[in-house]
Amino acid sequence: MTENAWTRWPSQEALSRAGVSRPRRLLAWAVRLLVIGMLLWGAFTGDHVHGWALAGGVAGIFVTAALAWAFWRTTLAHRLWPSVALIAALLGVAIGGQAAGFTVPAVVVWCGCAVSSLERLPIAVALPVTSVSLATFAAVNNDVWLTTAVTTAGLALAGYTLRLDAEARGNAQRLLTQERMARAAEAESAALAERARIAREIHDVLAHSLSAQLVHLEAARLLIERGADRETILERVVAARGMARDGLAETRQALSALRGEMTPLEDFLAEIVATTAGAEVTVTGDRRQLSAEASQAVRRVAQEALTNVRKHAPGAKVLLRLEYGEHEVRLDVRDSGGSPGELTGAGGGYGLLGMRERAELLGGSLRAEPEEEGFVVTLKVPA
């Protein structure tokens, strides 16, 4: 049978005590103690209660408590037929108590079965059980018919209200659980993203530094093969050593960036331009603080573009232009072109592919293409 509103169980969150506040728990225990007190009062008052009747009343109270606890457990586990059998047993105990003269306990059990059935069973099963319970209660009740009708209607309404309240609490518990799971997943995703960012920063720093060192070391090798003089070869080795030192400084800077401690972007561009002959930088637009990811993208692209100029067009003039737009930041790196250097084929380094991937990760773009007089690299990132 397809589950619908008539055959659907209240959720386990609704049937359990999860999410119940302390005042409500205290109130529930007060009601239980009141019911137990009524049962005891009804069982041990009256002239007929003595001997075996007294023992039977005490045994009936314990049996009722055990059956009620078992009914709570089976409904919590959504076990239909055991739950129906237990509620039927409770009704049987109430009928037996009524026959033995224990009217008040019997009435309490009938009312409790009616309310609990509406609260904890599927509606299609709860309605017949509640009808039988309230009909039996009405049959033995000595009040006028109007009072009995109002009482039975009130009990039915109370049971359904408790059901709606339990389902609302269960929905709140599920939403809370889903929110906690979403927060945990978000935290895990953020941790993975941060790990990827750290790995990317380390990779980019090492790729740029090692690529620059490779340029000079390969130049030293070619000079040795061509029999160049010692001073020229030493100049290349010293340059490679300087690149290693710069790489160490960049690694420290990357670690500082990961901690949110970065020098202003304009100062960084001025520093790298100062170490490149024939290069200059201009900044336009309203300067503002960029996110760490956007700032690092601009830095890495500028570094790689200058390295490519040194490798493929040594001696070319380079113009870096940083433009702050309304919704994005744009970096243009243009060189004047020149004869390919002797190290054009020396290693791929980080390259344009890595720069483009970095831009796309931020929702930006990168264009790298030749022009009439040289080569241009254009980076756009949201800011």
Per-residue pLDDT of 130-150, as tens digits, reads: 998 888 888 887 778 888 888
How far is Cα 313 from Cα 338, in angstroms, rounded to an integer? 5
The DSSP-derived string for 250-286 is HHHHHHHHHTT----HHHHHHHHHHTSTTEEEEEES-
pTM reported for the whole predicted model: 0.49
pLDDT at 74: 92
DSSP 319: E
How far is Cα 311 from Cα 375, in angstroms, rounded to an integer? 13
pLDDT at 360: 85
3-state secondary structure of 283: strand
Q: Give me the tens of pLDDT residue by residue for the chain, a chain 383 residues long.
A: 345 778 888 888 777 776 667 787 788 778 777 767 766 665 566 555 555 666 666 777 788 889 989 998 999 888 989 999 999 999 888 888 888 777 777 888 888 889 889 888 898 899 998 998 888 888 887 778 888 888 889 888 988 888 888 888 888 888 888 888 888 888 788 777 767 766 766 666 676 677 777 887 888 888 888 888 888 888 888 888 877 777 776 676 666 666 665 678 888 888 888 877 788 999 998 888 888 778 888 888 888 888 788 777 787 889 999 999 888 999 999 988 766 654 444 444 446 677 787 788 888 999 988 887 888 999 999 97
How far is Cα 110 from Cα 100, in angstroms, rounded to an integer? 15
CA–centroid distance for 286 within its chain: 37
119-133 tens-digit pLDDT: 888 988 999 989 988
Tokens in use for 179?
A: 């929110």
CB 14 within 8 A of CB 166: yes
Q: Which helix (H) or strand (E) holds 323?
A: strand 318-324
CB 97 within 8 A of CB 109: yes
- Cα angle for residues 107, 162, 74 (degrees, 5° grid): 75
- Residue identified by tokens 């070869």 is 233
Minimal CA–CA distance to 232: which of 241, 242, 222, 244?
Answer: 222
pLDDT at 62: 83
pLDDT at 193: 74
For residue 29, give the amino acid letter: W
